[in-house]
Structures are given as C-alpha cells and as structure tokens.
Structure 1
Amino acid sequence: MMDITWEEPFCGEGASCFRLGTDTEGNAYIAVAGQEEDYLTDSTEALRTLIRDIKAGKADHLLG
C-alpha cells in the first residue's frame, strides 16, 4: 500500500471537507475527509490544475 501523507481537511462553505495528499513518488491524492481510503489520484500538476480551475469558477457546473 502507498504511504500517503494527508494534509489537514479543507472545508468550503456548506460543502464537504476534502483532504489532499502526496506520496514519495510524486503522485497527488484527493479524498472526502473521513473517507481517505476512497481517493482519486493523478499527477500533482493535474490535481493542482483542477483545484485552480475550481477556484477560478470554471467547474461551477460540477458543484451542484
């Protein structure tokens, strides 16, 4: 099993809390806080881009 280092949860207004994590091989992870065993993984840059796009309002249609 991968050794994932999880950051503190990030909670939006009225939304679920998410946690971001990384491993020693350069992969990044995102999961709902409390459900870290059910995560999505991709390269760190891909998840960084996803987060930037969400913050810029480019994914509001997905947050319903």
Structure 2
Amino acid sequence: MAVHDWQKSSFSGDAANCIYVSAAVDSTIWIRESDDPGTIISTSPEALRALIRAVKAGEFDHLAG
C-alpha cells in the first residue's frame, strides 16, 4: 500500500469520527474515515469538486429522513 500524507478535515475538530484526505503524485485524491482507516476510496479532483458543489447546492437534501 502506498504511503500517504493524510490531512484531517478542518470540520472534524476533535471529534472521533474524522475524514482524512491525501493527494497522490498523479493527482488522485484518497479519502478514509477514522472509524475504518483500512478502507480507502480514491477519486479524481474533478469528481470530488463536483460532489462538494452538489452537496453545497443541496442536491442530496431530499434523500434525508
């Protein structure tokens, strides 16, 4: 497994459930959760940017509750 320079999300604060991200040399974005650090997903910067924009725009709000 590749060695990553993980950075904790600034929104996690001191919470136990944290999201960590790392960028690979080829620009791949790696994401893991503190509850299961062995499970890592990867994505492109473009796909992550699109997801963040969609979340901020409320495109997934109708899925709650």
**Do both share a fold (TM > 0.5)?**
yes
What TM-score results when the alignment is normalised by the length of structure 2? 0.64
- The Cα shift of 1:4 comes to 2.0
Larger radius of gyration: 2
Structure 1: runs of 5 or more not aligned: none
Q: Is the 8 A contact 1:29 1:41 kept in 2?
A: yes
What TM-score results when the alignment is normalised by the length of structure 1? 0.64
Q: Is the 8 A contact 1:4 1:21 kept in 2?
A: yes
Matching of residue 7 in structure 1 with residue 7 in structure 2: yes
Q: Distance in 2 between matches of 1:33 and 1:55?
A: 23
Q: Is the 8 A contact 1:27 1:43 kept in 2?
A: yes
Structure 2: runs of 5 or more not aligned: none
Structure 1 residues 5 and 59: CA distance shift in structure 2, 3 A: farther
Q: Is the 8 A contact 1:3 1:23 kept in 2?
A: no
Q: Distance in 1 between matches of 2:34 and 2:41?
A: 13
* CA distances 1:29-48 after superposition (whole Å, capped 9, x unpaired): 22212433202111121112
Residue 32 of structure 1 corresponds to which residue in structure 2? 33
Q: Distance in 2 between matches of 1:42 and 1:31?
A: 12
Q: What SS does structure 2 have at the residue aligned with 1:36?
A: strand
Q: Percent identity?
A: 31
